[in-house]
Amino acid sequence: MARQLRAEQTRATIIAAAADLFDRQGYESTSLSDIVRRARVTKGALYFHFAAKDDLAQAIMELQSRTSRRMAREMDGRGYSSLEALMRLTFGVTRLSVEGPVLRAGLRLATAGVPVRPPLRHPFTEWLELASARLVGAVEESDLHPDIDVDAVAHSFVCSFVGTRVVGRTVEPVAHQPRRVAEMWRLLIRALVPVTRRPHYARLAVRLEREPGPV
């Protein structure tokens, strides 16, 4: 049992080291030797868990997917409206991206064209599905204009959310990202939410920007 725990801890250490390097210097510019040095493990330990650098990339993207889906289930189970659940999901992912490198690395891998091996789906495809389901719910709950094109809005939403994170990490400290996500939501609320519901969701965006930790 102790041996299994050590193996799991070593694997987690290797993933964290690879995520940090992929995030800071990119997938192509990172070698397995770089990861070994950063993780402070032997090459044998690395190869015991991962046969190639691509396996590490897949593990990071799988963690990203698992985290997003887990958070989406948690939000859906707390009785929030569909739109609030989507807002909280974006702020939750953003907070985790600020706190650790795995989700930042997952985003960089996704935008760098690193192939995703089945059965894992591309992160952007997954986000389109997560957003579409909650946007449909928001229309049914009268929190969005009834005549919106859900597919078009979901596409624009994912582009905005991904773009906000990519541009933000490039031009300013990553700690500023919750503020940028709040700015994104203020624009979306003005465009999509009926006038009578706007104040509620505008206040929510302000509150979620300021809330520390999980939302």
pLDDT-based confidence at residue 168 (cuts at 50, 70, 90)? confident
Instruction: Over range 55-83, report the average pLDDT.
Output: 94
The pLDDT of residue 208 is above 80? yes
Q: So where are the chain's domains?
A: 53-210
Asked: is 53-210 a CATH 1.10.357.10 domain? The reply is: yes
**Predicted local confidence at residue 213, as pLDDT:** 58
Rounded CA-CA distance 152/112 in Å is 24
Rounded CA-CA distance 115/83 in Å is 31
Tens digit of each residue's pLDDT (9 = 90 or more) over 120-162: 999 999 999 999 999 999 999 999 999 999 999 999 999 999 9
**Predicted local confidence at residue 52, as pLDDT:** 93
Tens digit of each residue's pLDDT (9 = 90 or more) over 170-206: 888 989 999 999 999 999 999 999 999 999 999 999 9
What does pTM read for this prediction? 0.91
Q: Is 114 helix (H, G, I), strand (E, B) or coil?
A: coil
